[in-house]
Amino acid sequence: MFCNQCEQTSEGIGCGMNGICGKGPDVAGLQDLLLYGLQGVAVFAHNARALGARDAAIDRFVAEGLFTTVTNVNFDPERMETVIRECHEMKEKARENYIKAYKDANEGALPPLVNGPADWTPAADLKGLIAQGEAHGIDTIHPDDDVRSAMQILVYGIKGLAAYADHALLLGGTDEKIFAFLHKALASLRDPGLGLMDYVGLCMECGEVNLRTMELLSTAHTDRYGHPVPTKVSLGTKAGPAILVSGHTLCDLEELLKQTEGTGVNVYTHGEMLPAHGYPGLKKHKHLAGNYGGAWQDQEKEFAIFPGAILMTTNCIQRPADSYFDNIFTSGLVAWPGVKHVADRDFSPVIRRALDLPGFTEEPGKEILVGFGHNAVLSVADKVVDAVKKGAIRRFFLVGGCDGALPGRNYFTELAEKIPADCVILTLACGKFRFNKKEFGDIGGIPRLLDMGQCNDAFSAIRIATALAGAFNCGVNDLPLSLVLSWYEQKAVVILLSLLHLGIRNIKLGPTLPAFISPNVLDFLVKNFAIGPIGNVDEDLAAALA
């Protein structure tokens, strides 16, 4: 196997024996084969769309298929095999759609589509599928280092884009432009006529399309649950049976809250589910009891002592320890071999397991603030602008992104602690668990730490930055704003592409730079966007404040 799509990739080069994330060579090969098969689906869907033929089922499958290959989503070879065989069926369906659309629009012979994945047929058994995947690994995508680097940025970007598109789809949010681009980008990966700058352009387009996707997801969340409002969240426990919900999918949490109503079961959030407490449509459920634990990488020790059932939604699952293997469930696209999977949001098995376990005793705890989405922050924008003009607020620091397990991430804790008292810290995603329980105080009633939500809520940060730029009649790069981002997986990649599409400069990225960025591509990013790695906290902070 060879995989270098996440931040913790082995030795900063790539995982070659087993993935540090927990996937083995079998799952890695199957993920590579699924990506290869999706390119075949896309080449037909892309050409059919040019002729006016679209297929919603194919669109959805491509988004779900790409999301399935994101880090920490699907570790089950049998589930992967099912998806791959469905991928071949979708490819043949897309082929039929294309042939019909062409014949309806043209006379004469059908032109050939030169694309290896378009002619792919899956092997007869699992072992054969793994071998097919190994023959089409990401390291074989192009012989030139720089072109391959740009292509990998695009691949990992559309994986993240597909994840956000799938979240929006679950809430009824959709946009034809998103699926058109996913097909276009996938089909481009086997186009021999494209060169380095073509893929750079596609990467920038990916960032642009992701902005629309993030807007769609933000609107889907607020239409369904209302705009987040500043809310205190308990880190203590209530007496009674308990279910812990992790991941990102708010509609899974919503349905679980409905199904546990009146059962005596209390529901707790974990990881990226923490921001759920800020939504009026979710916080109205009185048995949404509080938040338990921190970021995804601590789940092994935190889940081992959780006295209830655990539900994993979307990505972020790790290898379950024996101590809680019988207590953990998956939903949606998440899978781990042997872990019970919940289909169609029927959470009765999760609830029964919670009722069989001892649950918590009453234990009051600290409270933390969430709910500072763009609507909440912009409602007091005049106070913020006035505080800046009067010098009460010197600078804003966006310190956020993915957390992770490897060393080097204490940088973000130290940075948050050392940011001066006249500066505001904006944060989102699970990177905030490094410092969100610390006391930062306020500036004239404005909390110094503003939690804007999940990584899914990155659009809020962009809305706030552009609104402040408008209020100060300047560009975003001219604001007293520093972006210091941590990354782990592919959703972070596409958010970075969106920031680059917007022309935002001087982003600090860490704890390491992506292994899939070649030296020449990195040089391009430095020259055009002044992007750079995090370094020494004191030196980086001094440079930002200067």
How would you label 482-504 residue by residue, b for 16+ Cβ within 10 Å and e otherwise?
bbbbbbbbbbbbbbbbbbbbbeb
Question: By percentage, how much of the chain surpasses pLDDT 70?
Answer: 100
Residues of the chain with CATH 3.40.50.2030: 231-356, 381-545
List the structure tokens of 293. 């634990």
What pLDDT does 114 receive? 65
User: Quick check: 107 pLDDT over 90?
Assistant: no
Contacts of 203 (CB under 8 A, 6+ apart): 150, 153, 154, 157, 497, 500
For 38-95, what is each residue's pLDDT tens digit?
999 999 999 999 999 999 999 999 999 999 999 999 999 999 999 999 999 999 999 9
CB contact at 8 A, 489 and 72: yes
User: Quick check: 494 pLDDT over 90?
Assistant: yes
Q: What is the mean pLDDT of residues 112-116?
A: 75
286 torsion bin: left (phi>0), alpha (psi -120 to 50), beta (else)? alpha
- Report the half-sphere exposure of 92 (CA within 13 A, side-chain side): 8
What pLDDT does 344 receive? 95
- CATH architecture under which domain 10-223 falls: Up-down Bundle (1.20)
Residues of the chain with CATH 1.20.1270.20: 10-223
Compute φ and ψ for 532, nearest 5 degrees: -155, 165
User: Quick check: 108 pLDDT over 90?
Assistant: no
Please tell me the class of the 231-356 domain.
alpha beta
For 177-219, what is each residue's pLDDT tens digit?
999 999 999 999 989 999 999 999 999 999 999 999 999 999 9
Compute φ and ψ for 448, nearest 5 degrees: -75, -25
List the structure tokens of 348. 């009765």
For 446-471, what is each residue's pLDDT tens digit?
999 999 999 999 999 999 999 999 99
User: What's the mean pLDDT when you consider all of the chain?
Assistant: 96
User: Quick check: 289 pLDDT over 70?
Assistant: yes
Contacts of 237 (CB under 8 A, 6+ apart): 266, 268, 289, 290, 292, 360, 361, 362, 363, 365
The two beta strands, 266-269 and 242-246, are parallel
CB contact at 8 A, 225 and 257: no
User: Quick check: 102 pLDDT over 90?
Assistant: yes
Q: Please state, in angstroms and rounded to a whole number, the distance separating the CA atoms of residues 128 and 135.
A: 11
User: Quick check: 439 pLDDT over 80?
Assistant: yes
Amino acid in position 46: H
List the structure tokens of 500. 């680059």
- CATH architecture under which domain 381-545 falls: 3-Layer(aba) Sandwich (3.40)
Containing 162, the helix (H) or strand (E) segment is helix 145-170
Considering all CA atoms of the chain, what is the largest pairwise distance in Å, rounded to the nearest integer?
Answer: 76
For 131-179, what is each residue's pLDDT tens digit?
999 999 999 999 999 999 999 999 999 999 999 999 999 999 999 999 9
Q: Please state, in angstroms and rounded to a whole number, the distance separating the CA atoms of residues 415 and 541.
A: 8
As to burial, measured by CB atoms within 10 angstroms (0-12 exposed, 13-18 middle, 19+ buried), residue 249 is buried
- Per-position DSSP letters for 345-370, written without gaps between them: T--HHHHHHHHHS--BPPB---EEEE
CA dihedral 537, 539, 543, 546 (to 10 degrees): 100
For 361-389, what is each residue's pLDDT tens digit?
999 999 999 999 999 999 999 999 999 99
Containing 312, the helix (H) or strand (E) segment is strand 309-312
Contacts of 303 (CB under 8 A, 6+ apart): 244, 293, 310, 320, 321, 324, 327, 328
For 6-45, what is each residue's pLDDT tens digit?
999 999 999 998 999 999 999 999 999 999 999 999 999 9
Q: Please state, in angstroms and rounded to a whole number, the distance separating the CA atoms of residues 286 and 435.
A: 27
Q: Please state, in angstroms and rounded to a whole number, the distance separating the CA atoms of residues 91 and 65.
A: 12
The CB density around residue 198, as the number of other CB atoms within 10 Å, is: 16
CB contact at 8 A, 274 and 370: yes
- Per-position DSSP letters for 69-124, written without gaps between them: TSTTSB--HHHHHHHHHHHHHHHHHHHHHHHHHHHHH--SPPPP---GGGG----S
Q: Which residue has the tokens 């609830």?
A: 351
* DSSP β-bridge partners for residue 267: 243, 288
